[in-house]
Amino acid sequence: MRSLYLDTSALAKWYLPEPMADEFGAFMSEQDGAVIGRLGEVELRSLLARRRRAGELDGRSVSLVWRTFQGDIGRGYLEVIPLADNQASAAIELFARRPTLALRSLDAVHLAAAIAAEATQVATADRAMATAAVSLGLDVKTFY
């Protein structure tokens, strides 16, 4: 397993023109790949659909981004951690152990996937996710 986990906010920086996308690209050029949760696939597809509905992306751009993303998975640059019941249980346990942590439900699932993948570093563009990951002892690389 790779030691770097990317949440969806980081994936968006990799595949879409966003603030700090260049910095994220430079960071990723130094990596030998990363781990993502299956949830990241779902959320990226949702993000693409939302941006298409908003008129920010056209159908051709959405298809190109999705093919590129799937190609990175296919060639092994991105390793996908399947959604599993133990991740849901771990996410539930995060809320029980850290009731004062401002953690959103899907961020808890991402963190559970990162822990299941034995990742030691999380890349994110989400402040709440970064705070939660640090509290769990993970090294965090932020892009915000």
Q: Each residue of 40-98: pLDDT tens digit?
A: 999 999 999 999 999 999 999 999 999 999 999 999 999 999 999 999 999 999 999 99
Rg (CA), the chain: 15
116: CATH: 3.40.50.1010
pLDDT in the model for residue 2 = 80
Structural domain containing residue 58 = 4-142
pLDDT in the model for residue 110 = 97
What pTM does this model have?
0.94
Q: How many domains does the chain have?
A: 1
